[in-house]
Structure 1
């Protein structure tokens, strides 16, 4: 049973991480606040589930537990059958157990934080997670920085990060959210995420999918209008291996970028024009939704929106009146857009062209990209492409 004062339960799925798990656990043991003071060890605990291993991961984790008995580390191991031997199952088991433990002490505001067995948390990782939750947020996504990338994959990765961070800034300029102001990033992935128990239960817990479970969970949070803060202060450093432990994930993306670089393949991304149009549409729909919640559905605006989107007004009216959350309304509209005329115009474009277009848009709005961490890979691209 956890201590009554426990605020955070960190979950760590481990599969064949003998080379990394000691450093992962040590980084969690040595967490400090923003002034360098050690975080009270009674405020958090760590759950490790060693699954389907063929190396010494479990023995090393037990050795760590023996060496640091005051560190609140709980370890278990499991051998899952093939259909269930995936990261989705393991992370779900861990997060459900973290939730169960918080319910034992009746703490629905308890924070479930997730990282990975090949990842090193920044020394202030827990401090900034707790700080963001204390501001009223339901969930936190942290930056995930890659370690020791190959030169070929690194360039593709940095371009991708630049594009997505610029897109996040453009999104904030068009459709700002008070709980997630600039500077903000784009990531909510398993190596660095957190959520309150209350929100975890509300959205139906972690979706039962074999992989990309973090992305599916992110979508569930959006559907329920969760306040998700994507803070640059919350960050981890993860392995940049190209032979990963999952079929789909960061390691697979790095491998693909390496192959694309060798083939001199132009990096393609979603059309900036389409993305900006979506942000503007979402803002307009959100305004209409809020007016509907407060004063009733604005009929003329509904007619104008239906005409703009080429939707039947009856269909749009039904979405507004039946969706319990704006996120569910937007998901329905976005799905309909993909199935209709917008799908044909969604042609990808070269990433450098997209980056240029986003920089121009941001400059025209008298805003600048701002990143307080000089070690973040995001900045290096600006220096390289200046």
Structure 2
């Protein structure tokens, strides 16, 4: 084990050979995962092409950063490596200082390392998952399919491991199902209203590091993982939106992750499951954005998207359309002209949201999650009956 400084963090995995066939790099942060890591690694022995053929192991590598481990994770990984030499697995064992010992820093240096390695081979795809997560046998192949179909990045469907889901606290399980149903309904609305060619229905709501893939080109263009201590996946997704990256939320890309309520990160799925567990015990209610607020937000984004695509029209026309979009508020200092200040819609849209945020916060947009789900289902009946067969709800 070595102490990791800012200087040495840029040298991770530099001493490991680079196969000429390498196209895909899988990064996995590990901290005290002795109970899960073997299942995680075994899944990569089973990788197949979309035709069910053996996936060429020489085209991908697995980069593992074992940080501050106090269990047998490292010895289990090394033993697995010895028994399965056909897989290219490289592990760096490090000790992090308190200001570095967070998932944001760990994921960033892992993704950066994968980026630099792939760049030496002319680029490729960076994929990330977790040490308590098992990927489907076509996980790599389905990610490749979505990217070859036009996506810059892919968020996979993250489900809870069935056995652990069944053993989950009743309150946590109930609220997890309700939240899943709500989020999937919102995602369905997004697909129908925004009608983005790169992310059509059916789509889901997850773009988290339990299953995420991004091209090296897009990673470089975005600036990589932001400097945050946690929720680095959400911060990265926001950064991808700023550059209009084509992010696909694919049901074809599937992983199963641990349903533990005590995790390794400050904020994450385990934190949320524990929160729901506590909420259930306290008899509290969960409130979410109302169906009316969801619809208003998405319709506004669609109108702004349409205006963005026609931004060569006259400034007077743009101002007129802005006035129709925001009849109850005054945009200060010719804010409508900000459309000409940005190269990407996502960055401009974020600026507009800042302007309307104060007005929206005056509205009572949060309602009980059960009512929100019922309202969304009613609204969606105007489009089609939603099929949840691919979710963890049923």
Settle same-fold status: TM greater than 0.5. Answer: yes
Listed one character per residue, the Cα deviations across residues 192-232 of structure 1 (whole Å, up to 9, x for unaligned) are 00100011011110011000000000000111100000001
The correspondence of residues 24-39 of structure 1 with structure 2, limited to 5 A, is 24-39=40-55
Q: Does the alignment pair 1:3 with 2:19?
A: yes
Aligned residues of 1:12 and 1:46 also touching (Cα < 8 A)? yes
Listed one character per residue, the Cα deviations across residues 152-188 of structure 1 (whole Å, up to 9, x for unaligned) are 2111001101000000111111111011111100000
Alignment match, 2:3 = none
Runs of 4+ in 1 over 4 A off after TM superposition: none
Between the aligned partners of 1:137 and 1:166, the Cα distance in structure 2 is 22
Alignment match, 1:362 = 380
Aligned residues of 2:318 and 2:336 also touching (Cα < 8 A)? no
Aligned residues of 2:68 and 2:96 also touching (Cα < 8 A)? yes
Between the aligned partners of 2:351 and 2:304, the Cα distance in structure 1 is 12
Alignment match, 1:62 = 78
Structure 2 SS opposite 1:345 = coil
Structure 2 SS opposite 1:3 = coil
Worse overlay, 329-338 or 295-304? 295-304
Listed one character per residue, the Cα deviations across residues 95-135 of structure 1 (whole Å, up to 9, x for unaligned) are 0000010111122xx11001000000011111100000001
Aligned residues of 2:331 and 2:355 also touching (Cα < 8 A)? no
Between the aligned partners of 1:207 and 1:343, the Cα distance in structure 2 is 27
Q: Does the alignment pair 1:125 with 2:142?
A: no
Structure 2 SS opposite 1:177 = coil
Alignment match, 1:202 = 221
Between the aligned partners of 1:297 and 1:34, the Cα distance in structure 2 is 49
The correspondence of residues 307-322 of structure 1 with structure 2, limited to 5 A, is 308-309=325-326, 310-312=329-331, 314-322=333-341
Q: Does the alignment pair 1:92 with 2:111?
A: no
Aligned residues of 1:302 and 1:313 also touching (Cα < 8 A)? no
Alignment match, 1:383 = none
Q: Does the alignment pair 1:134 with 2:114?
A: no
Aligned residues of 2:38 and 2:80 also touching (Cα < 8 A)? yes
Between the aligned partners of 1:123 and 1:138, the Cα distance in structure 2 is 22
Listed one character per residue, the Cα deviations across residues 329-383 of structure 1 (whole Å, up to 9, x for unaligned) are 1101112221x21111143111111111111111012x2223563xx313x1xxx
Q: Does the alignment pair 1:173 with 2:192?
A: yes
Structure 1 SS opposite 2:334 = helix
How far has the Cα of 1:323 moved from its partner? 1.1
CA RMSD, Structure 1 to Structure 2 (Å): 1.4
Alignment match, 1:303 = 320
Alignment match, 2:207 = 188
Unaligned residue ranges in structure 1 (runs of 5+): 381-386
Cα gap change, 1:363 to 1:198, in 2 (>3 Å):
same
The correspondence of residues 227-238 of structure 1 with structure 2, limited to 5 A, is 227-238=246-257
Cα gap change, 1:72 to 1:312, in 2 (>3 Å):
same
Between the aligned partners of 1:174 and 1:316, the Cα distance in structure 2 is 25
Alignment match, 2:280 = 261
Unaligned residue ranges in structure 2 (runs of 5+): 1-16
The correspondence of residues 147-166 of structure 1 with structure 2, limited to 5 A, is 147=161, 148-149=164-165, 150=168, 151-166=170-185
Listed one character per residue, the Cα deviations across residues 297-344 of structure 1 (whole Å, up to 9, x for unaligned) are 463243231454224374333320101100001101112221x21111
Structure 2 SS opposite 1:127 = helix
Identify the match of residue 145 of structure 1 among 132, 150, 159: 159
The correspondence of residues 263-278 of structure 1 with structure 2, limited to 5 A, is 263-278=282-297
Q: Does the alignment pair 1:44 with 2:60?
A: yes
Between the aligned partners of 1:231 and 1:169, the Cα distance in structure 2 is 12
Cα gap change, 1:263 to 1:289, in 2 (>3 Å):
same
Aligned residues of 1:88 and 1:209 also touching (Cα < 8 A)? yes
Q: Does the alignment pair 1:290 with 2:296?
A: no
